[in-house]
Structure 1
Amino acid sequence: MGCDGGTIPKRHELVKGPKKVEKVDRNAELAAKWKYCALSQEKLRRPIIACDLGRLFNKDSVIEYLLDKTAERPNAEAVSHIRGIKDIKELNLTDNPEWKGERSNTKGDIYEDMNCGMFICPVVGLEMNGKHRFCYLQNCGCVFSDRALKEVKTEICHKCGEGFKAEDIVVLNGTKEEVGKLSVRMEEKRAKAKTKKSKKSKAAETVSTPSESKEDAQAPQVDLTAQQNGDESSQPAVAGSSDSSKGGKSSTASTSSIAKRNFQEMTEKSEVFKSLFTTHSSAKRSKDQTSNWVTHTPYHF
Structure 2
Amino acid sequence: MVLSEKDKTSELAFKWKHCAISQETLTKPIVACELGRLYKKESVLEFLLDRSKFDIASQFDHLRGLKDIKELHLTDVPEKRGHHVEKGDMRSDSIIADFICPVVGLEMSGKHRFCFLWSCGCVVSERALREVKSQTCHKCGKQMREDDVVLLNGSDEDVAEMRLKMEQRRELAKMAKKARKAEKHKMKAAEAGDLSSELPAAPNGSDSPIDCETAESRVAKQARKDSSDVTHKPVSNGKSGQERKTKEKKLCIQDDPKASKTFKSLFTSSEAARNQQKPNWITYNPLYY
TM-score above 0.5, yes or no: yes
Alpha-carbon separation, structure 1, partners of 2:151 and 2:35: 8
1:124 aligns with 2:124: no
Aligned to 1:145, which of 102, 125, 136? 125
SS in 1 for 2:133: coil
Q: Which moved more, 1:92-101 or 1:165-174?
A: 92-101
CA root-mean-square deviation: 3.4
Shift of 1:67: 2.3
- TM-score, with structure 1 as normaliser: 0.60
Aligned to 2:46, which of 59, 64, 74? 64
Q: Percent identity?
A: 45
Shift of 1:200: 2.8
2:12–2:110 CA contact under 8 A, matched in 1: yes
1:96–1:117 CA contact under 8 A, matched in 2: yes
2:115–2:126 CA contact under 8 A, matched in 1: yes
1:49 aligns with 2:31: yes
Structure 1 residues 231-268: Cα deviation after superposition (integer angstroms, max 9, x where no partner): xxxxxxx99xx68x979xxxxxxxxxxxxxxxxxxxxx
**CA 1:208 to 1:155, structure 2 compared with 1: closer, same or farther past 3 Å?**
closer
Q: Which amino acid aligns with 1:202?
A: A
- TM-score, with structure 2 as normaliser: 0.63
**CA 1:97 to 1:113, structure 2 compared with 1: closer, same or farther past 3 Å?**
farther
1:121–1:143 CA contact under 8 A, matched in 2: yes
Aligned to 2:58, which of 74, 77, 92? 77
Structure 2: unaligned runs, 5 residues or longer: 206-218, 229-289
2:47–2:53 CA contact under 8 A, matched in 1: no
SS in 1 for 2:115: strand
What's 1:197 paired with?
A: 177
Count of residue pairs the alignment pairs up: 212
**CA 1:204 to 1:100, structure 2 compared with 1: closer, same or farther past 3 Å?**
same
**CA 1:88 to 1:112, structure 2 compared with 1: closer, same or farther past 3 Å?**
same
Structure 1: unaligned runs, 5 residues or longer: 1-20, 226-237, 248-301
1:177 aligns with 2:157: yes
What's 2:238 paired with?
A: none
Q: How does 1:106-125 map to 2 (within 5 A)?
A: 112-125=92-105
User: Based on CA coordinates, which of the two structures has the bigger radius of gyration?
Assistant: 2
Structure 1 residues 26-65: Cα deviation after superposition (integer angstroms, max 9, x where no partner): 2210122100000010000000001111100001111122
Shift of 1:108: 7.4
